Amino acid sequence: MRRWISIRIVLLLAVVFSLSGASAQARPAALPSTEPLTVLVDVEGAGRRVTGAYVIRRAMDSSGTVWWSFRGMLDGELEEVDGMAVERWSIDGSVTVELTAFNYPNFRLDELPAQRITLMPGWDGLVVIAGIPLAVKGEYRAPGAGSSPVIIVTNAGRGARTITRLPDTSDPPVKQGEQHQ
Amino acid sequence: MNSVPIFRYRYHPFLTVIAAISLILLGIGAAYLVWINMLRDQERLNPSTERVLVTTDGQRIPLTQPSPTVVASATAEATLTAVETQVTLKALVTPTPEIHPLPPERLIIPRININWPVTLADIDHLPKFRGVGWIFGTAFPGTPGNMVLTGHAGGPYATFERLHELQRGDEILVQTESSIHRYRVQTVYETSPDDVLVMAPSDRMIATLITCSGDWIPERQMNARRLIVVAVYEGRQ
């Protein structure tokens, strides 16, 4: 059950940023020209933590089609999801992103609490999804309008994280007191 | 002379409840707006998307890499020091930075039979599977900066148990969705766990591999040392 909640978080983020890994076979034979976008996510919510990268390819034609893939961790476990979305930009600068398909075993699109999210202009680096405020670094604009090549998303209000130690890779394997190397 | 009352309050329970609910909703809305504006101001002053290295002497180094869109005009070998140029570079190609930064997907080191998946990780959120963590905030493969990869040296998730066998000149391959980036080992050394300068951003295109080494310290539940492998970018295939 908790795993399903985590998957919902991943997919909700996908709705917002049209995120995750598009499988080659899901694409049509004649691909339109696409603009790539990478979104790095490190978000905690519902007692779970999602850390991973979305690779998004946005169609440069007027279709608004987006192919996305996610590769990352849910509480340290490897997860990979991919799918499709449609983004529609309005003259006022708002964008509506709708998740249309994704590939994840035993999980259907209609099980998501929301398949469509609208971002209004002036969001200014802060969005709230499912009650979780998220800080966003980077510009997200219509395809071809100069989006940042990389967008970073983390929980808002925590400030810059400080790193005082190198990664502790002895954590799970040698907690029992065994010695290696 | 009778005065005409301008306003006469008459108690209507239904209207009173509606008014109370409206006031409560207005208060919630106002509080929400205040909260959002406070968060926004806080993010402007101290962005949560940033990582900062803090050295033992208190120096603070933002973990911000050079812009991945920068197209390097100079060759990477031009930035090597005299010591670094001793590395035998079999293919002195001009390293062309990745036009669009893509995350690493696999790490391949042929000489020590390493071929593991790579995922984004954070200092306090490392893989709990046999995979390699690409540390949040460090450089993308094939872009200027320091790409930091980390893996376990022992236990059920061990991926870097043979990292200490690497030598100067060994080849390291990092695969993305569209390319394979080739790095060449420049230095292998041990350091203390608080030597965070290992992860500091760089103007060069380098990869830093980190794993645990040294004796196990039971009271600190960690190893005493860290093994560091620094590799210089050569180009992509």
Q: Which domains does chain B have, with CATH numbers?
A: 52-236 (2.40.260.10)
Give CA–CA dist B167/B182, Å, rounded: 15
* Average confidence (pLDDT) over B88-102: 57
Of B49, B53, B218, Cβ closest to residue A163: B53
Helix (H) or strand (E) holding A6: helix A2-17
* Token duo for residue B31: 């509080």
Look at B222 and A171 and tell me if their CB atoms are within 8 Å. yes
Q: Each residue of A2-57: pLDDT tens digit? A: 555 556 666 666 655 544 333 333 445 556 788 889 999 999 887 889 999 999 99
Exposure of A73 in the CB half-sphere (CA atoms within 13 A)? 26
Residue type, A6: S
CB B188 within 8 A of CB B168: yes
* Token duo for residue B103: 């995350």
Q: Each residue of B216-236: pLDDT tens digit? A: 888 878 888 999 999 999 998
Residue B76 has pLDDT above 80, yes or no: no
Give CA–CA dist A150/A12, Å, rounded: 19
Look at B49 and A166 and tell me if their CB atoms are within 8 Å. no
Helices (H), chain B: 13-45
CB B87 within 8 A of CB B232: yes
How close is the nearest chain A Cα to the Cα of B140, in Å?
Answer: 10
How close is the nearest chain A Cα to the Cα of B198, in Å?
Answer: 8
Whose tokens are 């997919």? That residue is A11
* Average confidence (pLDDT) over B71-94: 39
Indicate the range of A110-119, B162-171, B174-183, B211-220 predicted with least confidence. A110-119
Q: Each residue of B3-39: pLDDT tens digit? A: 666 767 777 888 889 999 999 999 999 999 999 889 8
CB B114 within 8 A of CB B159: yes
Look at A128 and B195 and tell me if their CB atoms are within 8 Å. no
Residue A179 has pLDDT above 60, yes or no: no
Give CA–CA dist B150/B127, Å, rounded: 9
Look at B196 and A163 and tell me if their CB atoms are within 8 Å. yes
Of A51, A158, A173, Cβ closest to residue B136: A51
How close is the nearest chain A Cα to the Cα of B33, in Å?
Answer: 12
Mutation target to probe the B interface, by most B beta carbons within 10 A, among A38, A124, A152, A170 is: A170
How close is the nearest chain A Cα to the Cα of B149, in Å?
Answer: 10
Give CA–CA dist A149/A140, Å, rounded: 9
Look at A181 and B223 and tell me if their CB atoms are within 8 Å. yes
Buried-state track B59-92, b at ≥16 Cβ within 10 A, e below 16: eebebebbebeeebeeebbebbeeebeebebeee
* Average confidence (pLDDT) over B204-213: 94
Whose tokens are 């209507």? That residue is B12
User: Other C-beta atoms within 10 Å of A81: how many?
Assistant: 23
CB B169 within 8 A of CB B82: no
Give CA–CA dist B7/A44, Å, rounded: 54
User: Other C-beta atoms within 10 Å of A2: how many?
Assistant: 11
User: Strand B171-175 vs strand B132-135: parallel, antiparallel, or unpaired?
Assistant: unpaired
Q: For residues A163 and A176, which has the higher predicted lDDT (pLDDT)?
A: A163
- Backbone φ and ψ for B33, nearest 5 degrees, come out as -65, -40
* Token duo for residue A130: 């499912």
Exposure of B113 in the CB half-sphere (CA atoms within 13 A)? 3
Non-local (6+) Cβ contacts of A5 within 8 A are A46, A48
Closest-CA residue of A relative to B217 is A177
Look at A174 and B155 and tell me if their CB atoms are within 8 Å. yes
Contacts of A76 in chain B (CB under 8 A): 125-129
* Average confidence (pLDDT) over B159-164: 93
Look at B129 and A76 and tell me if their CB atoms are within 8 Å. yes
Look at B36 and A133 and tell me if their CB atoms are within 8 Å. yes
Closest-CA residue of B relative to A21 is B177
How close is the nearest chain B Cα to the Cα of A63, in Å?
Answer: 22
Helix (H) or strand (E) holding A17: helix A2-17
A-B C-beta contacts closer than 8 Å: 216
Contacts of A128 in chain B (CB under 8 A): 36
Closest-CA residue of B relative to A125 is B40
Give CA–CA dist B163/B172, Å, rounded: 11
Give CA–CA dist B160/B151, Å, rounded: 6
Contacts of A170 in chain B (CB under 8 A): 152-155, 212, 216, 221-223
pLDDT band at B81 (very low <50, low <70, confident <90, very high): very low
Mutation target to probe the A interface, by most A beta carbons within 10 A, among B37, B112, B119 is: B119
Look at A40 and B161 and tell me if their CB atoms are within 8 Å. no
How is the beta sheet containing A77-89 ordered, strand by strand?
Answer: A116-119, A95-103, A77-89, A65-74, A48-59, A34-45, A150-155, A132-137, A126-129
Look at A161 and B51 and tell me if their CB atoms are within 8 Å. yes
Of A125, A128, A161, Cβ closest to residue B43: A125
Look at A166 and B210 and tell me if their CB atoms are within 8 Å. yes
Q: Where are the domains of chain A?
A: 2-155
- Backbone φ and ψ for B149, nearest 5 degrees, come out as -120, 140
Of B103, B119, B127, Cβ closest to residue A55: B103
